[in-house]
Amino acid sequence: MINSLSDLEIQTLGACRIESPLAAELNGRRTSPHNVPENDRVLYDDTLSTARGRGLPLEELPGFEPAGPRRKIYFDPAKTRAGIVTCGGLCPGLNDVIRGIVLQLTRHYGVRRIVGFRNGYQGFIARYGHPAEELTVDSVSGIDERGGTILGTSRGQQDPEEIVDCLERMNINVLFVIGGDGTMHGATQVSRIVRERGNKIAVVGIPKTIDNDIPVIDHSFGFQTAFGQAAESIRAAHVEACSAPNGVGLVKVMGRQSGFIACYAALAKGDADYVLIPEVPFALDGDDGFLEHLRRRVLERGHAVVVLAEGAGQEHIPHEDRGVDASGNLRMKDIGSFIKERIVADFQQSKLDINIRYFDPSYGIRSVPANPYDSVYCLRLAHAAVHAAMAGRTETVVGRFHGRLVHLPMELVASGRNLVDPHGDLWLSVLEATDQPMNFGTPAEDPRS
């Protein structure tokens, strides 16, 4: 809960005394809905009822510091050495962000030393044997046309003390961390140790998650590309389902805890009859269960398409010996294969034929290059991250909030998860588009809750 301005305060390494190479470009800019001075605020809650309820003048309401270039910067570009690391799963746009950071540092700030750390946080630890590589304008040329990340990535936690040891050895002044909530949590630990040692190293995050589950920000980069790709799988599933008697197309998309890809992809194509997401538990069996409802719809319409987020319905699968992955996340069972088997068994029990086609485009989705929208978004995030770092901001994440690029405290971004609100307008749109019921029977209790 954000209660005061101090909850959103961004840490800084100290006063900015060096004239920025961009200062001349800033002098002619006017304040507008899309540009506010650096000492202004982008309000966290811009409703009048909040101001009146707290009895506060508008300037004292909690608000985010706007992103963008400053007239004075903290670091001398000629003496600055920057590092970049990508962590976690793949996501469209990673290479766009890397390229954007390198070009901005080199061309506009004159930073000549930029290092890429290989394979996530492992790249800082000598025993893994991943040598760092110099990043230049030439070495990042054209990488935005490729999926994945040229730096590689990994999951799993590394000792933040060892990471800071590496930063000190290599004289890194600025570290750009591209990753999700676990990555940002690790970055806060790195920044804490930097502070405890009395070092002046800026740690700036660019939030990355294909599931769009990072809180506070409008959306994460790569998400639009992801749900666009998923929508094409829904289209294919619909064609398959319509082409066979009692046809069922089953599409599993990414979304461990959050069902945004499933929701947006289903809305984008309009071919889905059911959308199942982690935020809305459902019953499989019984007169009002999902299987009964699906069977009736297939008999009425001749076909159906089901869109399934990977984290949906996990409560229906036995959880013995599931374990956790390298990042500490509970391993997900293959809900797609499980639901497919249950659908087939239900039709057979009712002595009905079924033609079911199962699509799992997950790895194909996350490995593609960013679409034009995400490419632009990635570039703007990269620019904002560089501006923040060169101005000495640290323990901060750049992101879009209510259409504006802002600085967010890293702990705020790592403190929770963005979820589809079962009572919100997005889920209502899904229910309206699919014509599925609000609930399927009495859902089983989810052991994750």
Q: Which structure tokens are listed for 292?
A: 């009964």
Alpha-carbon span 138 to 160, nearest angstrom: 31
H-helix or E-strand spanning residue 407:
strand 404-409
- Identify the active-site residue in 144, 181, 211, 346: 211
**Phi/psi at 188 (nearest 5 deg)?**
-65, -35
Alpha-carbon span 391 to 398, nearest angstrom: 13
Please tell me the total number of residues recorded for the chain in this structure: 449
Angle at 164 between CA 213 and CA 7, to 5 degrees: 45
H-helix or E-strand spanning residue 345:
helix 335-349
Contacts of residue 173, Cβ cutoff 8 Å, sequence gap at least 6: 75, 79, 80, 81, 82, 200, 201, 202
211 part of the active site: yes
Q: Torsion over CA of 404, 268, 144 and 381, rounded to 10 degrees?
A: 10
Alpha-carbon span 241 to 400, nearest angstrom: 39
Residues designated as active site: 211
